[in-house]
Amino acid sequence: MIGYCGINCEKCEARIATIKDDDKMREEVSRKWCELFHTDMITPDRINCTGCKGDGVKYFFCNQMCVIKPCVTSKGYESCAECTEMDSCAKLAAEISNNEDAKNNLIITKHKNEIESS
């Protein structure tokens, strides 16, 4: 469940709250993310997502405002790991510069792709 930008949607609290249909967790995630992103737009009713790929409900930011998804899909890639600009891309850096897990996921995916194509 590695997303376009490298975030592992499987570990995402919004996804876990959605899968469990846990309103208390939705409230906690809403509070945490509002604080983290300095906004009051992330209300508990918006904490609904099954992951950025495939069918199912999607979190509004990841679905409508993410700049990575349209870029990756327009190039026909599964994620930024397939892109030659991965290491220098400002868009990607802005999205995941503080997310070591996402960065590592992209690096691992890139290496796997290289091994598979060699």
Q: Which residues bind ligand SF4 (CB under 6 A)?
A: 3, 7, 9, 12, 14-15, 49, 51-52, 59, 62, 68, 71-72, 75, 77, 80, 83, 85-86, 89, 91-92
Alpha-carbon span 40 to 31, nearest angstrom: 9
Q: How far is the CB of 41 from ligand SF4 (least distance, A)?
A: 14
Alpha-carbon span 2 to 19, nearest angstrom: 17
User: DSSP string covering 48-59, please?
Assistant: --S-SSSSS---
Residue 30 vs 49, nearer CB to ligand SF4: 49
Could you tell me where the DSSP H helices lie in 1-118?
13-20, 23-36, 60, 68-74, 90-96, 100-117
Q: How far is the CB of 48 from ligand SF4 (least distance, A)?
A: 9
Q: How far is the CB of 18 from ligand SF4 (least distance, A)?
A: 8
Q: How far is the CB of 9 from ligand SF4 (least distance, A)?
A: 3
Residue 24 vs 70, nearer CB to ligand SF4: 70
Q: Number of C-alpha atoms within 13 angstroms, CB side, residue 29? A: 22
